[in-house]
């Protein structure tokens, strides 16, 4: 079996080399002729899989993308050709949820929103929205879910209406980019919606840039008294509107899902799909490749606040991942010679909450220990 993979896939050689003749290609260099006699093509979103690219693919049986999104795959063409395709949906869901949690923790400390009283409106209750809801449940933060397609499909969770979402203290977006159909998401946050939002609200977008009408967003923020806005994604990436950044509270270069676990999980899921295709039992797992969990030494006296029972969790979450560091790096990079694409490619190593071992200065009470364990921390 011949496997061709994009070199940007973490550990691709280590995974795929054990099950076939695997060879890599650099982003932007793959040609149709290089797919002759290839059985499996493994990509990321930086490779567009089109009929033109597959013109010479005479033996292709699987296209796997190590990303949650599939906008770069011509799935209709793949289906018509009988080529099985898969995505790593959910691979980075925990990472994105923890990104939003870091935003919320910072907003709480900055007085932008009070998490003890705020209601969070989660738009999109798929992998990411569900992961975020579990984190909020653990911290006792109020939230509502909005996802008409899932509600229509019979999902048994309780869903709210759009007007309720617009009245939430925090609105966080976790939907795929759907240009048409019964439930389009392209520019779902348009001028009308933005005009409804006030300075007391926080708007977070960590899904797809085009879900927000950026022209309308800039106009709304320039007019004053608009919502506090955090963007990890932008329209027209990587050629983004840098002028918009001055109106944003926090901005990052599409790295919300870029945890080490999220990246490795994408390759793991493609590897498992290939094994399933040829009837092999997967022998590799994430534990074979993830480094040891770093230790966090926590002084409960320093991170406690008698008036805020969220204080220990917030302090610990931000000690693992503080989104303001990425915000600062992004703005400094764009002010210099670093491109949007380069910042994504050169992004720092970031571990998820579950990738850390926690040691306490003293034995924590059971409520704090239970809460931190449910957040994913490993407790000593």
Question: What are the counts of helices (DSSP H) followed by strands (DSSP E) for the chain?
Answer: 13, 14
Instruction: Please provide residue 73's backbone torsions phi and psi, each rounded to the nearest 5 degrees.
Output: -105, 130
- Whether the CB-CB separation of 20 and 1 falls below 8 Å is answered with yes
Q: If we measure between CA atoms, which residue out of 49, 28, 13, 7 comes closest to residue 271?
A: 13
* DSSP state string for 86-97: EE-TTTTHHHHH
Is the backbone peptide bond immediately before 84 cis, with ω within 30 degrees of 0?
Answer: no
CA distance 247 to 18: 49
377 burial (CB, 10 Å; 0-12 / 13-18 / 19+) is: buried
Catalytically active residues are 208, 237, 254
- The dihedral region occupied by 57, where left means phi > 0, alpha psi between -120 and 50, and beta the remainder, is beta
């Amino acid at each position: 079996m011949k496997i061709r993979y994009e070199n940007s896939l973490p550990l691709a050689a280590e995974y795929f080399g054990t099950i076939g003749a695997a060879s890599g290609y650099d982003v932007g260099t793959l040609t149709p002729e290089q797919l002759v006699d290839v059985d499996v093509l493994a990509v990321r979103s930086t490779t567009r899989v089109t009929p033109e690219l597959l013109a010479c693919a005479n033996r292709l049986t699987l296209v796997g993308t190590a990303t949650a999104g599939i906008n770069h795959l011509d799935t209709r063409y793949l289906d018509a050709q009988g080529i099985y395709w898969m995505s790593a949906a959910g691979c980075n869901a925990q990472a994105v949820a923890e990104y939003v949690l870091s935003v919320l923790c910072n907003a709480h400390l900055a007085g932008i929103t009070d998490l003890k009283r705020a209601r969070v409106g989660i738009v999109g209750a798929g992998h990411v929205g569900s992961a975020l809801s579990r984190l909020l449940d653990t911290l006792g933060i109020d939230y509502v879910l909005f996802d008409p397609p899932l509600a229509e499909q019979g999902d048994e969770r309780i869903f709210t209406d759009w007007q309720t979402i617009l009245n939430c203290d925090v609105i966080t977006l976790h939907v795929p980019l759907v240009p048409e159909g019964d439930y389009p998401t392209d520019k779902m946050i348009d001028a009308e919606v933005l005009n409804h939002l006030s300075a007391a609200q926080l708007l977070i977008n960590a899904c797809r840039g085009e879900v927000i009408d950026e022209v309308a967003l800039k106009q709304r923020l320039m007019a004053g008294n608009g919502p506090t806005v955090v963007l990890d994604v932008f329209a027209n990436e990587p050629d983004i509107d840098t002028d918009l950044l001055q109106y944003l509270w926090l901005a990052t270069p599409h790295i919300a899902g870029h945890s080490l676990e999220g990246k490795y999980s994408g390759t793991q899921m493609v590897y498992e799909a290939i094994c399933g295709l040829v009837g092999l039992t997967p022998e590799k797992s994430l534990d074979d490749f993830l480094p040891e969990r770093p230790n966090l030494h926590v002084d409960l006296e320093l991170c406690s606040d008698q008036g805020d029972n969220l204080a220990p969790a917030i302090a610990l979450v931000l000690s693992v991942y503080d989104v303001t560091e990425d915000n600062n790096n992004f703005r400094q990079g764009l002010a210099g010679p670093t491109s949007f694409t380069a910042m994504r490619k050169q992004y720092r190593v970031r571990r998820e909450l579950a990738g850390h071992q926690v040691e306490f200065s003293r034995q924590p009470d059971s409520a704090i220990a239970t809460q931190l364990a449910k957040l994913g921390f490993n407790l000593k």
